Structure 1
Protein backbone atom coordinates (compact mmCIF):
# COMPACT_ATOMS: atom_id res chain seq x y z
CA UNK A 1 0.00 0.00 0.00
CA UNK A 2 1.31 3.44 -0.96
CA UNK A 3 0.42 6.32 1.37
CA UNK A 4 0.92 9.92 0.34
CA UNK A 5 1.75 11.56 3.68
CA UNK A 6 1.38 15.14 2.48
CA UNK A 7 -1.04 16.75 0.04
CA UNK A 8 -3.43 19.69 -0.06
CA UNK A 9 -6.83 20.69 -1.38
CA UNK A 10 -8.26 24.17 -1.78
CA UNK A 11 -10.85 26.35 -3.47
CA UNK A 12 -9.90 29.78 -4.77
CA UNK A 13 -12.81 31.39 -2.93
CA UNK A 14 -11.61 29.87 0.35
CA UNK A 15 -9.20 32.60 1.39
CA UNK A 16 -5.83 31.32 0.14
CA UNK A 17 -4.16 34.67 -0.48
CA UNK A 18 -0.74 33.17 -1.15
CA UNK A 19 -2.11 31.84 -4.44
CA UNK A 20 -2.33 35.43 -5.69
CA UNK A 21 1.45 35.63 -6.00
CA UNK A 22 2.45 35.69 -9.70
CA UNK A 23 4.62 32.58 -9.41
CA UNK A 24 1.59 30.58 -8.22
CA UNK A 25 -0.34 31.08 -11.47
CA UNK A 26 0.10 27.45 -12.66
CA UNK A 27 -1.77 26.14 -9.59
CA UNK A 28 -4.21 29.02 -9.16
CA UNK A 29 -7.38 26.98 -9.51
CA UNK A 30 -9.62 24.77 -7.40
CA UNK A 31 -8.25 21.40 -6.31
CA UNK A 32 -11.06 19.18 -5.07
CA UNK A 33 -11.63 15.57 -4.08
CA UNK A 34 -12.38 14.82 -7.72
CA UNK A 35 -8.93 16.13 -8.66
CA UNK A 36 -7.41 14.14 -5.82
CA UNK A 37 -8.89 10.93 -7.18
CA UNK A 38 -7.34 11.65 -10.56
CA UNK A 39 -3.99 12.20 -8.81
CA UNK A 40 -4.36 8.87 -7.00
CA UNK A 41 -5.27 7.01 -10.18
CA UNK A 42 -2.22 8.41 -11.97
CA UNK A 43 0.24 7.60 -9.19
CA UNK A 44 -1.20 4.37 -7.80
CA UNK A 45 -1.43 5.88 -4.31
CA UNK A 46 -3.94 4.13 -2.05
CA UNK A 47 -4.41 6.48 0.92
CA UNK A 48 -3.43 10.04 1.79
CA UNK A 49 -2.91 12.54 4.59
CA UNK A 50 -4.56 15.90 3.89
CA UNK A 51 -2.56 18.83 5.30
CA UNK A 52 -3.69 22.38 6.04
CA UNK A 53 -2.90 24.76 3.19
CA UNK A 54 -1.86 28.06 4.85
CA UNK A 55 -5.37 29.43 5.20
CA UNK A 56 -4.74 29.51 8.95
CA UNK A 57 -8.26 29.29 10.33
CA UNK A 58 -10.30 26.66 12.09
CA UNK A 59 -13.01 26.79 9.42
CA UNK A 60 -10.60 25.12 6.98
CA UNK A 61 -9.91 22.40 9.53
CA UNK A 62 -13.61 21.71 9.92
CA UNK A 63 -14.08 21.60 6.14
CA UNK A 64 -11.16 19.20 5.71
CA UNK A 65 -12.36 16.87 8.45
CA UNK A 66 -15.81 16.82 6.89
CA UNK A 67 -14.25 15.97 3.51
CA UNK A 68 -12.19 13.20 5.09
CA UNK A 69 -15.25 11.72 6.77
CA UNK A 70 -16.86 11.15 3.38
CA UNK A 71 -13.68 10.32 1.41
CA UNK A 72 -12.22 6.88 2.22
CA UNK A 73 -8.99 7.67 0.40
CA UNK A 74 -8.16 10.41 2.93
CA UNK A 75 -6.94 8.43 5.94
CA UNK A 76 -6.00 11.42 8.08
CA UNK A 77 -6.01 15.20 8.37
CA UNK A 78 -3.27 17.48 9.68
CA UNK A 79 -5.28 20.56 10.67
CA UNK A 80 -4.14 24.12 11.32
CA UNK A 81 -3.63 25.18 14.92
CA UNK A 82 -1.92 28.20 16.48
CA UNK A 83 0.77 26.55 18.61
CA UNK A 84 1.30 29.58 20.82
CA UNK A 85 -2.36 30.28 21.55
CA UNK A 86 -3.27 27.06 23.32
CA UNK A 87 -4.33 27.58 26.93
CA UNK A 88 -3.10 25.22 29.63
CA UNK A 89 -6.19 23.23 30.68
CA UNK A 90 -4.49 22.11 33.91
CA UNK A 91 -3.55 25.60 35.08
CA UNK A 92 -5.25 27.12 38.09
CA UNK A 93 -8.46 28.84 37.08
CA UNK A 94 -8.60 27.28 33.60
CA UNK A 95 -12.21 26.42 32.88
CA UNK A 96 -12.75 26.51 29.12
CA UNK A 97 -11.35 24.74 26.11
CA UNK A 98 -9.09 26.61 23.68
CA UNK A 99 -11.43 27.84 20.96
CA UNK A 100 -9.65 26.04 18.14
CA UNK A 101 -9.66 22.64 19.84
CA UNK A 102 -13.29 23.09 20.85
CA UNK A 103 -14.22 23.83 17.24
CA UNK A 104 -12.40 20.75 15.96
CA UNK A 105 -14.10 18.65 18.61
CA UNK A 106 -17.50 19.69 17.26
CA UNK A 107 -17.08 17.60 14.11
CA UNK A 108 -19.67 14.81 13.88
CA UNK A 109 -18.31 11.35 14.53
CA UNK A 110 -15.70 12.43 17.04
CA UNK A 111 -13.82 9.69 18.84
CA UNK A 112 -14.40 9.37 22.61
CA UNK A 113 -11.84 10.81 25.05
CA UNK A 114 -9.05 8.36 25.82
CA UNK A 115 -7.57 9.79 29.01
CA UNK A 116 -8.58 11.60 32.17
CA UNK A 117 -6.91 14.76 30.86
CA UNK A 118 -9.03 14.75 27.72
CA UNK A 119 -12.16 14.14 29.79
CA UNK A 120 -11.30 17.06 32.06
CA UNK A 121 -10.81 19.19 28.96
CA UNK A 122 -14.17 18.08 27.48
CA UNK A 123 -12.29 17.18 24.32
CA UNK A 124 -13.43 14.67 21.73
CA UNK A 125 -11.06 14.10 18.83
CA UNK A 126 -12.51 13.59 15.35
CA UNK A 127 -11.54 10.14 14.16
CA UNK A 128 -9.46 11.34 11.19
CA UNK A 129 -7.74 14.21 12.99
CA UNK A 130 -4.19 12.85 13.24
CA UNK A 131 -2.05 15.96 13.58
CA UNK A 132 -1.80 19.73 13.60
CA UNK A 133 0.42 22.28 11.91
CA UNK A 134 1.14 25.97 12.30
CA UNK A 135 2.77 28.13 9.61
CA UNK A 136 6.04 28.40 11.53
CA UNK A 137 7.91 29.42 8.36
CA UNK A 138 5.92 32.68 8.33
CA UNK A 139 7.43 33.82 11.64
CA UNK A 140 10.51 36.01 11.23
CA UNK A 141 12.05 34.80 14.49
CA UNK A 142 14.28 31.79 13.72
CA UNK A 143 13.85 30.68 17.36
CA UNK A 144 10.06 31.01 17.43
CA UNK A 145 9.58 27.30 18.16
CA UNK A 146 11.85 27.61 21.19
CA UNK A 147 9.66 30.26 22.86
CA UNK A 148 8.25 29.04 26.21
CA UNK A 149 4.62 29.70 25.24
CA UNK A 150 5.07 27.72 22.01
CA UNK A 151 6.69 24.77 23.79
CA UNK A 152 3.84 24.84 26.32
CA UNK A 153 1.33 24.70 23.47
CA UNK A 154 3.19 21.78 21.92
CA UNK A 155 2.97 19.92 25.23
CA UNK A 156 -0.82 20.32 25.18
CA UNK A 157 -0.89 18.94 21.64
CA UNK A 158 1.19 15.96 22.71
CA UNK A 159 -1.17 15.27 25.60
CA UNK A 160 -4.02 15.16 23.08
CA UNK A 161 -2.23 12.39 21.20
CA UNK A 162 -1.74 14.46 18.05
CA UNK A 163 1.31 14.58 15.79
CA UNK A 164 2.95 17.98 15.25
CA UNK A 165 3.93 18.76 11.66
CA UNK A 166 6.70 21.34 11.36
CA UNK A 167 6.95 23.47 8.23
CA UNK A 168 10.10 25.47 8.87
CA UNK A 169 12.87 27.32 7.10
CA UNK A 170 16.44 26.02 7.44
CA UNK A 171 17.29 28.76 9.93
CA UNK A 172 14.44 27.51 12.17
CA UNK A 173 15.74 23.94 12.45
CA UNK A 174 17.68 24.66 15.65
CA UNK A 175 14.51 26.00 17.27
CA UNK A 176 12.71 22.84 16.20
CA UNK A 177 15.31 20.86 18.12
CA UNK A 178 14.62 22.88 21.27
CA UNK A 179 10.89 22.22 20.87
CA UNK A 180 11.44 18.48 20.39
CA UNK A 181 13.62 18.39 23.51
CA UNK A 182 10.96 20.29 25.46
CA UNK A 183 8.26 17.77 24.52
CA UNK A 184 10.09 14.42 24.66
CA UNK A 185 6.88 12.40 24.51
CA UNK A 186 5.59 14.35 21.52
CA UNK A 187 5.73 13.15 17.91
CA UNK A 188 7.16 15.64 15.41
CA UNK A 189 7.21 15.40 11.62
CA UNK A 190 9.62 17.66 9.73
CA UNK A 191 7.83 18.67 6.53
CA UNK A 192 9.80 18.92 3.29
CA UNK A 193 13.05 17.89 5.04
CA UNK A 194 13.28 21.40 6.46
CA UNK A 195 13.27 22.98 2.98
CA UNK A 196 16.88 22.51 1.84
CA UNK A 197 17.87 25.45 -0.41
CA UNK A 198 18.52 23.26 -3.44
CA UNK A 199 18.24 26.07 -5.97
CA UNK A 200 20.83 28.16 -4.11
CA UNK A 201 23.23 25.38 -3.07
CA UNK A 202 26.58 26.32 -1.58
CA UNK A 203 26.93 27.39 2.04
CA UNK A 204 23.18 27.40 2.66
CA UNK A 205 22.89 23.75 1.73
CA UNK A 206 25.90 22.88 3.90
CA UNK A 207 24.28 24.62 6.88
CA UNK A 208 21.02 22.77 6.23
CA UNK A 209 22.87 19.43 6.25
CA UNK A 210 24.40 20.18 9.66
CA UNK A 211 21.17 21.41 11.22
CA UNK A 212 19.10 18.49 9.90
CA UNK A 213 21.65 16.04 11.24
CA UNK A 214 21.40 17.65 14.69
CA UNK A 215 17.61 17.58 14.60
CA UNK A 216 17.63 13.91 13.55
CA UNK A 217 19.43 13.06 16.80
CA UNK A 218 16.05 13.49 18.53
CA UNK A 219 14.25 10.13 18.41
CA UNK A 220 10.83 11.81 18.53
CA UNK A 221 11.36 13.52 15.15
CA UNK A 222 10.71 11.95 11.75
CA UNK A 223 10.88 13.67 8.36
CA UNK A 224 9.02 13.82 5.08
CA UNK A 225 10.53 13.34 1.66
CA UNK A 226 8.26 16.02 0.26
CA UNK A 227 8.46 19.49 -1.21
CA UNK A 228 11.95 18.98 -2.63
CA UNK A 229 11.20 19.70 -6.28
CA UNK A 230 9.90 23.18 -5.43
CA UNK A 231 13.07 23.94 -3.46
CA UNK A 232 15.11 23.08 -6.58
CA UNK A 233 15.14 24.86 -9.94
CA UNK A 234 11.54 24.40 -11.06
CA UNK A 235 12.34 24.22 -14.76
CA UNK A 236 15.65 22.34 -14.79
CA UNK A 237 15.91 20.07 -11.73
CA UNK A 238 17.12 16.50 -12.21
CA UNK A 239 17.19 13.38 -10.07
CA UNK A 240 20.90 14.03 -9.52
CA UNK A 241 20.09 17.41 -7.95
CA UNK A 242 17.91 15.76 -5.32
CA UNK A 243 20.00 12.63 -4.75
CA UNK A 244 22.48 14.10 -2.18
CA UNK A 245 19.66 15.54 -0.08
CA UNK A 246 17.70 12.28 -0.05
CA UNK A 247 20.87 10.32 0.72
CA UNK A 248 21.61 12.64 3.64
CA UNK A 249 18.08 12.22 4.99
CA UNK A 250 18.40 8.44 4.78
CA UNK A 251 21.74 8.60 6.58
CA UNK A 252 20.65 10.79 9.49
CA UNK A 253 17.04 9.69 10.00
CA UNK A 254 17.26 6.14 8.69
CA UNK A 255 14.60 4.55 6.47
CA UNK A 256 12.30 3.87 9.43
CA UNK A 257 11.91 7.59 10.16
CA UNK A 258 11.17 8.90 6.66
CA UNK A 259 7.75 9.33 5.04
CA UNK A 260 7.08 10.11 1.41
CA UNK A 261 4.69 12.91 0.49
CA UNK A 262 3.75 14.32 -2.89
CA UNK A 263 3.10 17.90 -1.73
CA UNK A 264 0.54 17.85 -4.53
CA UNK A 265 -0.68 20.13 -5.99
CA UNK A 266 2.08 22.58 -4.98
CA UNK A 267 4.61 20.22 -6.59
CA UNK A 268 2.95 20.88 -9.94
CA UNK A 269 4.91 24.13 -10.04
CA UNK A 270 7.97 22.01 -10.82
CA UNK A 271 6.79 18.60 -12.00
CA UNK A 272 3.91 16.17 -12.21
CA UNK A 273 3.07 13.73 -9.44
CA UNK A 274 4.04 10.67 -11.47
CA UNK A 275 7.57 11.94 -12.09
CA UNK A 276 8.13 12.96 -8.45
CA UNK A 277 7.00 9.58 -7.13
CA UNK A 278 9.21 7.79 -9.67
CA UNK A 279 12.16 9.99 -8.67
CA UNK A 280 11.64 9.34 -4.97
CA UNK A 281 11.36 5.59 -5.52
CA UNK A 282 14.56 5.64 -7.57
CA UNK A 283 16.45 7.52 -4.84
CA UNK A 284 15.28 5.30 -1.95
CA UNK A 285 16.69 1.74 -1.83
CA UNK A 286 14.07 -0.79 -2.89
CA UNK A 287 14.28 -2.69 0.40
CA UNK A 288 13.04 0.46 2.17
CA UNK A 289 10.08 1.18 -0.10
CA UNK A 290 7.43 -0.46 2.08
CA UNK A 291 8.47 1.68 5.04
CA UNK A 292 9.09 5.03 3.35
CA UNK A 293 6.14 4.88 0.96
CA UNK A 294 3.51 3.59 3.35
CA UNK A 295 4.33 1.83 6.59
CA UNK A 296 6.01 4.75 8.33
CA UNK A 297 3.15 7.11 7.59
CA UNK A 298 0.60 4.62 8.90
CA UNK A 299 2.57 4.16 12.11
CA UNK A 300 3.51 7.82 12.69
CA UNK A 301 -0.01 9.16 12.20
CA UNK A 302 -1.68 6.03 13.62
CA UNK A 303 -3.87 5.80 10.55
CA UNK A 304 -6.83 3.45 10.64
CA UNK A 305 -6.71 1.70 7.27
CA UNK A 306 -8.66 -1.37 6.23
Structure 2
Protein backbone atom coordinates (compact mmCIF):
# COMPACT_ATOMS: atom_id res chain seq x y z
CA UNK A 1 0.00 0.00 0.00
CA UNK A 2 1.45 3.34 -1.00
CA UNK A 3 1.28 6.45 1.11
CA UNK A 4 -1.15 8.03 -1.32
CA UNK A 5 -3.41 4.99 -1.23
CA UNK A 6 -3.42 4.62 2.54
CA UNK A 7 -5.32 7.84 3.25
CA UNK A 8 -7.84 7.56 0.43
CA UNK A 9 -11.52 6.90 0.64
CA UNK A 10 -13.37 4.89 -1.99
CA UNK A 11 -12.27 5.13 -5.62
CA UNK A 12 -15.26 4.81 -7.96
CA UNK A 13 -13.53 3.25 -10.95
CA UNK A 14 -16.42 3.52 -13.39
CA UNK A 15 -18.94 6.27 -14.02
CA UNK A 16 -20.18 8.42 -16.89
CA UNK A 17 -21.43 11.93 -17.61
CA UNK A 18 -23.17 13.42 -20.61
CA UNK A 19 -24.65 16.68 -21.84
CA UNK A 20 -27.34 16.17 -24.46
CA UNK A 21 -26.92 19.73 -25.71
CA UNK A 22 -23.32 18.88 -26.65
CA UNK A 23 -23.95 15.43 -28.10
CA UNK A 24 -26.84 13.02 -28.36
CA UNK A 25 -26.56 9.67 -26.62
CA UNK A 26 -28.33 7.62 -29.25
CA UNK A 27 -28.23 4.48 -27.12
CA UNK A 28 -30.70 6.09 -24.70
CA UNK A 29 -33.94 5.16 -26.44
CA UNK A 30 -37.25 3.61 -25.49
CA UNK A 31 -39.46 3.99 -22.44
CA UNK A 32 -37.35 1.78 -20.18
CA UNK A 33 -34.37 4.16 -20.45
CA UNK A 34 -36.41 7.36 -20.27
CA UNK A 35 -35.05 8.41 -16.87
CA UNK A 36 -31.54 8.55 -18.36
CA UNK A 37 -32.55 10.89 -21.16
CA UNK A 38 -31.34 14.07 -19.47
CA UNK A 39 -28.00 15.65 -18.65
CA UNK A 40 -25.85 14.05 -15.97
CA UNK A 41 -22.90 16.18 -14.86
CA UNK A 42 -20.04 16.07 -12.38
CA UNK A 43 -21.97 18.61 -10.31
CA UNK A 44 -24.76 16.02 -10.05
CA UNK A 45 -22.38 13.25 -9.03
CA UNK A 46 -20.10 15.12 -6.63
CA UNK A 47 -22.43 15.46 -3.62
CA UNK A 48 -23.57 11.84 -3.89
CA UNK A 49 -19.98 10.65 -4.18
CA UNK A 50 -18.71 12.64 -1.24
CA UNK A 51 -21.64 11.57 0.95
CA UNK A 52 -20.70 7.95 0.20
CA UNK A 53 -17.00 8.41 1.05
CA UNK A 54 -15.81 8.50 -2.57
CA UNK A 55 -12.73 10.70 -2.97
CA UNK A 56 -11.65 9.88 -6.55
CA UNK A 57 -13.28 8.54 -9.69
CA UNK A 58 -12.57 7.25 -13.19
CA UNK A 59 -14.73 8.80 -15.92
CA UNK A 60 -15.46 6.33 -18.74
CA UNK A 61 -16.48 6.91 -22.37
CA UNK A 62 -20.08 6.59 -23.47
CA UNK A 63 -20.04 6.96 -27.28
CA UNK A 64 -17.67 6.11 -30.11
CA UNK A 65 -16.93 9.73 -30.93
CA UNK A 66 -13.32 10.92 -30.85
CA UNK A 67 -14.22 14.41 -29.61
CA UNK A 68 -15.62 13.01 -26.36
CA UNK A 69 -12.19 12.05 -25.03
CA UNK A 70 -10.58 15.54 -25.05
CA UNK A 71 -13.83 16.91 -23.63
CA UNK A 72 -13.63 14.43 -20.74
CA UNK A 73 -9.96 15.24 -20.17
CA UNK A 74 -10.77 18.95 -19.97
CA UNK A 75 -13.51 18.16 -17.44
CA UNK A 76 -11.04 16.12 -15.40
CA UNK A 77 -8.48 18.92 -15.47
CA UNK A 78 -10.99 21.20 -13.73
CA UNK A 79 -12.21 18.57 -11.26
CA UNK A 80 -10.92 17.58 -7.84
CA UNK A 81 -12.91 14.35 -8.11
CA UNK A 82 -12.03 12.79 -11.49
CA UNK A 83 -8.57 11.25 -11.21
CA UNK A 84 -8.61 9.34 -14.49
CA UNK A 85 -10.33 9.15 -17.87
CA UNK A 86 -10.95 6.07 -19.98
CA UNK A 87 -11.66 7.47 -23.43
CA UNK A 88 -12.26 6.26 -26.97
CA UNK A 89 -10.21 6.39 -30.11
CA UNK A 90 -10.23 4.37 -33.32
CA UNK A 91 -7.98 1.44 -32.48
CA UNK A 92 -7.66 0.53 -36.15
CA UNK A 93 -6.35 3.94 -37.22
CA UNK A 94 -2.77 3.82 -38.54
CA UNK A 95 -1.90 7.02 -36.65
CA UNK A 96 -3.15 5.86 -33.26
CA UNK A 97 0.22 6.49 -31.56
CA UNK A 98 0.16 10.11 -32.71
CA UNK A 99 -3.46 10.45 -31.58
CA UNK A 100 -2.61 9.20 -28.10
CA UNK A 101 0.37 11.55 -27.88
CA UNK A 102 -1.86 14.46 -28.91
CA UNK A 103 -4.41 13.63 -26.21
CA UNK A 104 -1.65 13.41 -23.64
CA UNK A 105 -0.37 16.84 -24.67
CA UNK A 106 -3.76 18.54 -24.41
CA UNK A 107 -5.65 19.93 -21.40
CA UNK A 108 -6.03 17.22 -18.77
CA UNK A 109 -3.89 14.83 -20.81
CA UNK A 110 -2.08 13.59 -17.73
CA UNK A 111 -5.38 12.07 -16.57
CA UNK A 112 -5.76 9.81 -19.61
CA UNK A 113 -5.44 6.31 -18.17
CA UNK A 114 -7.03 4.04 -20.75
CA UNK A 115 -9.28 3.46 -23.74
CA UNK A 116 -12.49 1.54 -24.36
CA UNK A 117 -14.60 0.48 -27.33
CA UNK A 118 -18.20 -0.75 -27.33
CA UNK A 119 -17.20 -4.27 -28.27
CA UNK A 120 -20.56 -5.48 -26.94
CA UNK A 121 -22.17 -3.87 -30.00
CA UNK A 122 -19.82 -5.43 -32.56
CA UNK A 123 -21.45 -8.26 -34.56
CA UNK A 124 -18.09 -9.97 -35.09
CA UNK A 125 -17.38 -12.07 -31.96
CA UNK A 126 -13.68 -11.99 -32.87
CA UNK A 127 -13.47 -8.21 -33.25
CA UNK A 128 -10.87 -7.95 -30.48
CA UNK A 129 -8.40 -10.15 -32.33
CA UNK A 130 -8.61 -8.54 -35.74
CA UNK A 131 -5.05 -7.65 -36.84
CA UNK A 132 -5.75 -3.93 -37.02
CA UNK A 133 -7.33 -3.96 -33.54
CA UNK A 134 -4.41 -5.88 -32.06
CA UNK A 135 -2.06 -3.27 -33.54
CA UNK A 136 -4.08 -0.55 -31.85
CA UNK A 137 -4.10 -2.40 -28.55
CA UNK A 138 -0.34 -2.79 -28.79
CA UNK A 139 -0.07 0.99 -29.22
CA UNK A 140 -2.01 1.44 -25.98
CA UNK A 141 0.50 -0.76 -24.19
CA UNK A 142 3.39 1.22 -25.67
CA UNK A 143 1.76 4.41 -24.37
CA UNK A 144 1.41 2.99 -20.87
CA UNK A 145 -2.39 2.93 -21.03
CA UNK A 146 -4.84 0.16 -20.15
CA UNK A 147 -7.81 -1.20 -22.10
CA UNK A 148 -11.30 -1.50 -20.65
CA UNK A 149 -13.30 -4.43 -21.99
CA UNK A 150 -17.05 -3.98 -22.36
CA UNK A 151 -18.11 -7.36 -23.72
CA UNK A 152 -20.89 -9.87 -23.46
CA UNK A 153 -20.29 -13.47 -22.33
CA UNK A 154 -20.00 -14.84 -25.87
CA UNK A 155 -17.15 -12.37 -26.55
CA UNK A 156 -15.05 -13.40 -23.54
CA UNK A 157 -13.18 -16.03 -25.56
CA UNK A 158 -11.78 -13.33 -27.84
CA UNK A 159 -10.92 -11.22 -24.80
CA UNK A 160 -8.89 -14.15 -23.47
CA UNK A 161 -7.11 -14.53 -26.80
CA UNK A 162 -6.31 -10.81 -27.02
CA UNK A 163 -4.94 -10.76 -23.48
CA UNK A 164 -2.81 -13.82 -24.23
CA UNK A 165 -1.37 -12.21 -27.35
CA UNK A 166 -0.63 -8.89 -25.61
CA UNK A 167 0.84 -9.72 -22.18
CA UNK A 168 2.22 -6.19 -21.85
CA UNK A 169 -1.26 -4.62 -21.89
CA UNK A 170 -3.58 -4.63 -18.87
CA UNK A 171 -7.17 -5.53 -19.75
CA UNK A 172 -9.88 -4.33 -17.35
CA UNK A 173 -13.17 -6.21 -17.61
CA UNK A 174 -16.16 -3.92 -17.09
CA UNK A 175 -19.36 -5.12 -15.41
CA UNK A 176 -18.15 -8.71 -14.88
CA UNK A 177 -18.56 -9.35 -18.61
CA UNK A 178 -22.34 -8.80 -18.34
CA UNK A 179 -23.40 -12.14 -16.83
CA UNK A 180 -26.99 -13.43 -17.20
CA UNK A 181 -28.11 -12.45 -13.71
CA UNK A 182 -31.80 -12.30 -14.64
CA UNK A 183 -31.84 -15.98 -15.60
CA UNK A 184 -29.58 -17.02 -12.71
CA UNK A 185 -27.34 -19.06 -15.01
CA UNK A 186 -23.63 -19.28 -14.24
CA UNK A 187 -22.40 -21.51 -17.07
CA UNK A 188 -20.72 -20.92 -19.45
CA UNK A 189 -20.01 -17.37 -18.20
CA UNK A 190 -18.21 -18.51 -15.04
CA UNK A 191 -15.82 -20.83 -16.88
CA UNK A 192 -14.95 -18.06 -19.34
CA UNK A 193 -14.34 -15.65 -16.47
CA UNK A 194 -11.91 -18.10 -14.88
CA UNK A 195 -10.03 -18.43 -18.16
CA UNK A 196 -9.67 -14.66 -18.37
CA UNK A 197 -8.70 -14.32 -14.72
CA UNK A 198 -5.98 -16.96 -15.15
CA UNK A 199 -4.05 -14.38 -17.16
CA UNK A 200 -1.99 -12.03 -14.93
CA UNK A 201 -2.61 -8.97 -17.12
CA UNK A 202 -6.35 -8.94 -16.43
CA UNK A 203 -8.41 -7.04 -13.85
CA UNK A 204 -12.17 -6.94 -13.25
CA UNK A 205 -14.61 -4.26 -12.10
CA UNK A 206 -17.26 -5.12 -9.55
CA UNK A 207 -19.74 -2.95 -11.41
CA UNK A 208 -22.92 -3.03 -13.44
CA UNK A 209 -24.55 -5.92 -11.61
CA UNK A 210 -27.82 -4.25 -10.64
CA UNK A 211 -28.62 -3.38 -14.24
CA UNK A 212 -27.86 -6.91 -15.42
CA UNK A 213 -30.37 -8.13 -12.82
CA UNK A 214 -34.14 -7.55 -12.76
CA UNK A 215 -34.26 -3.78 -12.24
CA UNK A 216 -37.38 -3.79 -10.09
CA UNK A 217 -36.89 -6.85 -7.92
CA UNK A 218 -33.20 -7.80 -7.64
CA UNK A 219 -31.87 -9.04 -4.32
CA UNK A 220 -28.42 -9.54 -2.83
CA UNK A 221 -28.99 -13.26 -3.25
CA UNK A 222 -29.41 -12.75 -7.01
CA UNK A 223 -26.06 -10.96 -7.27
CA UNK A 224 -23.97 -12.99 -4.82
CA UNK A 225 -23.06 -15.99 -7.05
CA UNK A 226 -21.62 -13.64 -9.69
CA UNK A 227 -19.72 -11.50 -7.20
CA UNK A 228 -18.39 -14.64 -5.53
CA UNK A 229 -17.22 -15.99 -8.90
CA UNK A 230 -15.11 -12.94 -9.73
CA UNK A 231 -13.82 -12.63 -6.17
CA UNK A 232 -12.63 -16.22 -6.31
CA UNK A 233 -11.23 -15.92 -9.85
CA UNK A 234 -9.48 -12.54 -9.68
CA UNK A 235 -9.06 -11.99 -5.95
CA UNK A 236 -9.44 -8.54 -4.34
CA UNK A 237 -6.01 -7.51 -5.61
CA UNK A 238 -7.34 -7.59 -9.19
CA UNK A 239 -10.88 -6.45 -8.49
CA UNK A 240 -12.10 -2.85 -8.22
CA UNK A 241 -15.39 -1.18 -7.38
CA UNK A 242 -17.30 0.86 -9.96
CA UNK A 243 -20.74 2.42 -9.61
CA UNK A 244 -21.70 2.68 -13.30
CA UNK A 245 -23.49 5.93 -12.37
CA UNK A 246 -25.84 7.19 -13.76
CA UNK A 247 -26.79 3.99 -15.59
CA UNK A 248 -27.12 2.28 -12.21
CA UNK A 249 -30.06 4.60 -11.45
CA UNK A 250 -32.24 2.34 -13.58
CA UNK A 251 -32.08 -0.17 -10.73
CA UNK A 252 -30.51 1.47 -7.65
CA UNK A 253 -29.32 4.75 -6.18
CA UNK A 254 -25.64 5.60 -5.91
CA UNK A 255 -25.56 4.91 -2.18
CA UNK A 256 -27.40 1.62 -2.67
CA UNK A 257 -24.83 0.43 -5.22
CA UNK A 258 -22.00 1.15 -2.78
CA UNK A 259 -23.87 -0.51 0.08
CA UNK A 260 -24.46 -3.59 -2.09
CA UNK A 261 -20.75 -3.81 -2.93
CA UNK A 262 -19.93 -3.67 0.79
CA UNK A 263 -22.47 -6.38 1.57
CA UNK A 264 -21.26 -8.66 -1.22
CA UNK A 265 -17.67 -8.38 0.05
CA UNK A 266 -18.39 -8.41 3.78
CA UNK A 267 -16.20 -11.48 4.31
CA UNK A 268 -13.01 -9.70 3.23
CA UNK A 269 -10.40 -8.46 5.66
CA UNK A 270 -9.34 -4.80 5.91
CA UNK A 271 -6.42 -5.11 3.46
CA UNK A 272 -8.59 -6.94 0.93
CA UNK A 273 -11.35 -4.34 1.27
CA UNK A 274 -8.79 -1.61 0.70
CA UNK A 275 -7.67 -3.30 -2.50
CA UNK A 276 -11.19 -3.69 -3.85
CA UNK A 277 -12.46 -0.22 -2.97
CA UNK A 278 -9.25 1.75 -3.47
CA UNK A 279 -5.90 0.11 -4.12
CA UNK A 280 -6.62 -1.94 -7.25
CA UNK A 281 -7.96 1.08 -9.11
CA UNK A 282 -5.06 3.30 -8.04
CA UNK A 283 -2.49 0.71 -9.13
CA UNK A 284 -4.18 -0.40 -12.34
CA UNK A 285 -4.85 3.08 -13.66
CA UNK A 286 -1.77 4.65 -12.02
CA UNK A 287 -3.99 7.34 -10.58
CA UNK A 288 -2.32 10.48 -9.27
CA UNK A 289 -4.45 10.82 -6.16
CA UNK A 290 -4.08 12.70 -2.91
CA UNK A 291 -5.10 11.64 0.55
CA UNK A 292 -8.70 12.00 1.63
CA UNK A 293 -10.97 10.49 4.28
CA UNK A 294 -10.11 6.94 5.25
CA UNK A 295 -12.04 4.09 3.65
CA UNK A 296 -15.14 3.30 5.72
CA UNK A 297 -14.88 -0.04 7.46
CA UNK A 298 -18.66 -0.49 7.53
CA UNK A 299 -21.08 -0.19 4.62
CA UNK A 300 -22.73 3.21 4.27
CA UNK A 301 -26.46 3.42 4.80
CA UNK A 302 -28.43 2.99 1.59
Q: Is the 8 A contact 1:58 1:104 kept in 2?
A: no
What secondary structure is seen at the aligned counterpart in 1 of 2:132? helix
Paired residue for 1:277? 258
Paired residue for 1:9? 17
Stretches of structure 1 that go unaligned for 5 or more consecutive residues are 90-96, 110-125
Q: Is the aligned partner of 1:83 residue 2:91? A: yes
RMSD: 1.4
Paired residue for 2:300? none
Q: Is the 8 A contact 2:90 2:96 kept in 1?
A: no
Q: Is the 8 A contact 2:61 2:88 kept in 1?
A: yes
Residues 276-304 of structure 1, C-alpha deviation per residue, up to 9 Å, x if partnerless?
11111111134121110001100000000
User: Among residues 56, 63, 73, which one is paired with 1:65 in the alignment?
Assistant: 73
CA distance in 2, matches of 1:84, 1:197: 30
Q: Is the aligned partner of 1:24 residue 2:33? A: yes
TM-score (ref. length: structure 1):
0.87
Offset, 1:42: 3.2
Q: Is the aligned partner of 1:223 residue 2:204? A: yes
Matches within 5 A, 1:160-171: 160-171=143-154
TM-score (ref. length: structure 2):
0.88
Q: Is the aligned partner of 1:299 residue 2:283? A: yes
Paired residue for 2:226? 245
Offset, 1:22: 2.5
CA distance in 2, matches of 1:195, 1:170: 6
CA distance in 1, matches of 2:139, 2:94: 7
Paired residue for 1:134? 117
Q: Is the 8 A contact 2:184 2:222 kept in 1?
A: no
CA distance in 2, matches of 1:274, 1:216: 28
Paired residue for 1:112? none
Stretches of structure 2 that go unaligned for 5 or more consecutive residues are 1-8, 291-302
**Relative contact order, higher structure (CA 8 A, sep 6+):** 2
Q: Is the 8 A contact 1:19 1:25 kept in 2?
A: yes
Residues 130-188 of structure 1, C-alpha deviation per residue, up to 9 Å, x if partnerless?
11111111101111112222111111110000010010011000000111011111111
Q: Is the aligned partner of 1:144 residue 2:152? A: no
